[in-house]
Chains A and B, each alone.
Chain A
Amino acid sequence: MPPPSERMELATLALSAALGVAGVVRGHDGGDGRYATAVPGGVLPGVVVAARAGGSYTVDLYLTAALAPLRALGDAVRDAVTRAAVAAGRVDALGPVSVRFISVEEEPAP
């Protein structure tokens, strides 16, 4: 199995950071897998990472949220991804981080 690319590592890091934010339920693959990233050993639903000129990557997250204020939740997700990239020493590779809420689950946020 080939080692994961920098793009795959960034996708894993971003989705993991997003799922760690209270109010984010899961990644949403769009229903037909269009919002997903293939990585060695599986697929990451709800994250798409694309290379940009200059060596960085855009990160697009497609999420299912709990009942929570979406603006604050979106900002918290972006902050969490940035913090995770800094901690992993990948902040130079991180470009714009976009968050889109595709669905909602009506259980109240913890």
Chain B
Amino acid sequence: MILLRALARLLGFLLVVALAVTGAAVALFSIQGGDGGLSIPGLAKLVGLPSLGTTVDGFLSQLEASGPVAVLSALGGLGAIVLGALLILGALTPGRGRTFALDDNEQGALAARRRPLARMATALAVRAGGVTRAKVRARPGRRRPGVLRIRAELTRRSSQAEARTALEQAVAPLAEPLGIKTNVKTSVAERGARVQ
């Protein structure tokens, strides 16, 4: 979805640039009348429209008849439809945004950016017993408040299950009132790592 959104934005930008260049060219070649110089027929000659017309005529004739060109064209048309549908999906699907919407009603909104929430959760997570290091990523949801992804390194003596519970409890005062889910993954710290 991220790729589709990026592709839709890139194509949109390129189309706007192409439209602007075309508009500027048409405006420039509208300065003079007649068939030459800065006239519309002059522009048509410059970009080779007459020869393009001949080429398209030939292509359309082949397209009407059954044969390999017609099959290829049908496949190309189907591909274009699928690509168009995907680009529309990419353009219309809302992004995750940078903020967690915690509350929004007629009295006003309550929101927090991802980074402060993640830093706050990290500060809480490293206080959990047996944790030597913790990193939290806050990921806002499209409809729900979102999720806190906690990656923690534990001392060699720590029980993974106990540490997981301790981590969930440590960030609960932050996450629960906001309706944010937590996702905890743990690993054993390298030799020599100490509890912070």
Which residues in A have some Cβ–Cβ distance to B below 8 Å?
A: 58-59, 65, 67, 69-72, 74-75, 78, 96-104, 106
Contacts and interface: CB of A to CB of B under 8 A. Distances in A.
A70 B121 CA distance: 11
B85 interface: no
A104 B109 contact: no
B17 interface: no
Nearest to B123: A106
Nearest to B116: A104
17 contacts: A70-B110, A70-B174, A70-B177, A71-B110, A71-B178, A74-B103, A97-B107, A98-B110, A98-B111, A100-B109, A100-B110, A101-B116, A102-B113, A103-B116, A104-B115, A104-B117, A104-B120
Interface string B132-147: 0000000000000000
B107 A74 contact: no
Interface in B91-112: 99, 102-103, 106-112
B12 interface: no
Contact of A98 (B108, B116, B174): B108
Interface string B165-196: 00000000110011000000000000000000
Contacts of B109: 96, 98-100
Interface residues of B, number: 22
B45 interface: no
B119 interface: yes
Nearest to A58: B108
B194 to A, nearest CB: 20
A74 B100 CA distance: 13
Given A70-B102, A70-B178, A71-B178, A65 B116 contact: yes
Contact of A74 (B102, B113, B174): B102
A102 B116 contact: yes
A9 B120 CA distance: 33
Nearest to B112: A101
Given A96-B108, A104-B116, 18 more contacts: A65-B116, A67-B120, A69-B173, A69-B177, A70-B112, A71-B177, A71-B178, A74-B102, A98-B110, A99-B110, A100-B99, A100-B112, A100-B113, A101-B112, A102-B113, A103-B113, A103-B115, A104-B117
Q: Which of B106, B120, B178 has the most CB of A within 10 A?
A: B120
A109 to B, nearest CB: 11
Nearest to B118: A104
Nearest to B177: A71
